[in-house]
Amino acid sequence: MRTRFAAILLITVVSSAAVAGQAMRNVPRISIDEVKVLMAKKQVVLIDVRDPQSFREGHMPGAINVPFDHIPNHVDQWKKEKRLLVTYCA
């Protein structure tokens, strides 16, 4: 079983804000150690879903900021992405 840690990392791609809530309950979770391995292999896109102010105050190296309510605007772009999408909010 995978190790879980306080800052929950979620793997998700959602098509609308309405679907997002339901999808969040069903997505796999991964540990920070697993994310680090993926980062080292350049096999992950880190998506910080917090507000821009929080992102500016600090974020994981290489992360992009897409506030949670803006996720639906990026779905078409992310469907083409071959790397794993990892969202986080802490």
Closest to 32 in 3D by CA, of 11, 8, 50, 13 = 8
Pairing verdict, β 64-65 and 84-88: unpaired
Enumerate domains of the chain plus CATH numbers.
17-88 (3.40.250.10)
CA angle 71, 15, 50 (to 5 degrees): 20
Residue 68 host element (H or E): none
Closest to 40 in 3D by CA, of 13, 64, 61, 11 = 61
- In the prediction, which pLDDT does 34 show? 95
Tens of pLDDT, residues 8-26: 344 433 334 445 555 557 7
- In the prediction, which pLDDT does 55 show? 97
Give every residue of the chain whose pLDDT is below 70, as ranges. 1-24
Paired tokens of 11: 């793997």
